[in-house]
Amino acid sequence: MALEHLRIASRRSQLAMVQTNWVKAELEKAHPGLAISVEAMATQGDKILDVALAKIGDKGLFTKELEAQMLVGRAEIAVHSLKDLPTNLPEGLMLGCITEREDPADALVVNANNADYKLETLPEGSVVGTSSLRRLAQLRHHYPHLEFKDVRGNVITRLEKLDAGDYDCLILAAAGLSRLGFGDRIHQIIPSAISLHAVGQGALGIECVEGKPEVLELIKVLEHGPTASRCLAERAFLRELEGGCQVPIGVNTCIEGDELILTGMVASLDGLRLIRDERRGAVSSAEDIGKGLADDLKSRGAGEILKEIFASVRPEA
């Protein structure tokens, strides 16, 4: 039976609404006559802004409330930044579609006083704002002379804090800046040799209820095969490591012909230990590539590093 009204669950943050409205517009173009509405709400991660993300825990931090709407029949799909979507989903839900990825790299944004510097030339003691343990660990590894300070809030709030002089620079996702119209604030794209990006960064994931082929049929028009293959490899890598989006696990993927190349890393919070490697294989074996690379890193001590991190950042009861 054809669906006549599609309800989309979304976070109400500015970036989330930009992303959700893009999905809505694309689906309306693909399915003329389909009524589509957006149910926007705040998630736990949006409400708690005075505690570091790693201290809250990341199991559904930005997704749980949206998933609840689908499970009780108040929405058919939810739109997420794929990097926020846990690799193990609640029973009854599935990842139905992965959209074409924007630049997944991290970006350096500076205040006016530091316009003449790049990341590698920032003076000793410069204050770098980031709420990501992944970015923190990699930057500490390469630039131990810099100082790092947690920063929370939406992108606009973070930029305001930067421009007010609270930080010398910020590290943010290039994709988020571009989607919000702040692409001109990107001072430097940080190369993957320095900072591997988050799993799924730059892509959107559309989650839906299992067993509803009429919904899958509607959203599959937005599926981007190469992005999906890359992100499935990345998510398999993260799942095998039993990590979440708030631990120092980074990736980079590319496709060359019929081959998918996955680079992955695990680092200690102080940046002193960083284990990094790559694995190649057929695009059709994306998830096997991710699992295999995770096993490679675990054999070199990644598991022990992650155990120490989980113990140190475990949320308080």
129 and 215, same structural domain? no
Tell me: the pLDDT tens digits for 97-152?
A: 999 999 999 999 999 999 999 999 999 999 999 989 999 999 999 999 999 999 98
Claim to verify: residue 277 and residue 216 sit in the same structural domain: no
Give the integer Cα–Cα distance in Å for 38 and 21.
8
Residues 135 and 265 in one domain: no
Task: Give the Cα separation of 138 and 128 in Å (integer).
Answer: 13
| pLDDT at residue 63, rounded to an integer | 87
Q: Which domain CATH number covers 262?
A: 3.30.160.40
Answer yes or no: is 65 within a domain: yes
Q: Is the pTM of the predicted complex or chain greater than 0.85?
A: yes
Same domain for 313 and 270: yes
8 neighbors 20 (Cβ within 8 angstroms): yes
Tokens of 210: 């299992």
Please give the pLDDT value at position 244. 67
SS3 content of the chain, % helix, strand, coil (to 5): 40, 25, 35
Residue 53 has pLDDT above 50, yes or no: no
Same domain assignment for residues 26 and 69: yes
Q: What percent of the chain has pLDDT over 90?
A: 84
Q: Is 296 part of the annotated catalytic residue set?
A: no
Assigned domain for 145 exists:
yes
> pLDDT value at position 58?
53
Task: Assess whether pLDDT exceeds 60 at residue 248.
Answer: yes
Same domain, 16 and 54: yes
What is the rounded distance in angstroms from the CA atom of residue 221 to the CA atom of residue 31? 10
Question: 248 with 134: CB under 8 angstroms?
Answer: yes
CATH code at position 117: 3.40.190.10
In a domain, 198, yes or no: no
Q: Where are any strands of DSSP class E within the chain?
A: 5-11, 35-41, 77-81, 93-98, 106-110, 127-129, 147-149, 169-173, 188-189, 204-209, 249-256, 259-267, 274-282
Q: Is residue 55 part of a domain?
A: yes
**Among 46, 50, 58, 84, the one annotated catalytic:** 84
Is 276 strand, coil or helix?
strand
DSSP assigned state of 250: E
Shared-domain flag, residues 178 and 301 = no
Note whether 137 and 207 are same-domain residues. no
Q: What is the pLDDT of residues 14-30, one digit of tens each?
A: 999 999 999 999 999 99
Please give the average per-residue pLDDT across 156-174, as a whole number: 97
* Number of structural domains in the chain: 3
Domain presence at residue 317: yes
Domain of 119 in residue numbering reads as 106-189
Residue 194 falls within a domain, yes or no? Answer: no
Q: Is 19 exposed, middle or buried (0-12, 13-18, 19+ CB in 10 A)?
A: buried
Residues 161 and 155: their CA atoms lie apart, in Å, by 10
Same domain, 229 and 276: yes
Q: Tell me what pLDDT residue 50 has.
A: 45
User: Same domain for 112 and 55?
Assistant: no
Q: Are 89 and 218 in contact (CB under 8 A)?
A: no
| Same domain, yes or no: 215 and 74 | yes
Report pLDDT for 47: 45
290 located within any domain: yes
**What is the pLDDT at residue 44?**
60
Domain shared by 177 and 64, yes or no: no
In a domain, 210, yes or no: yes
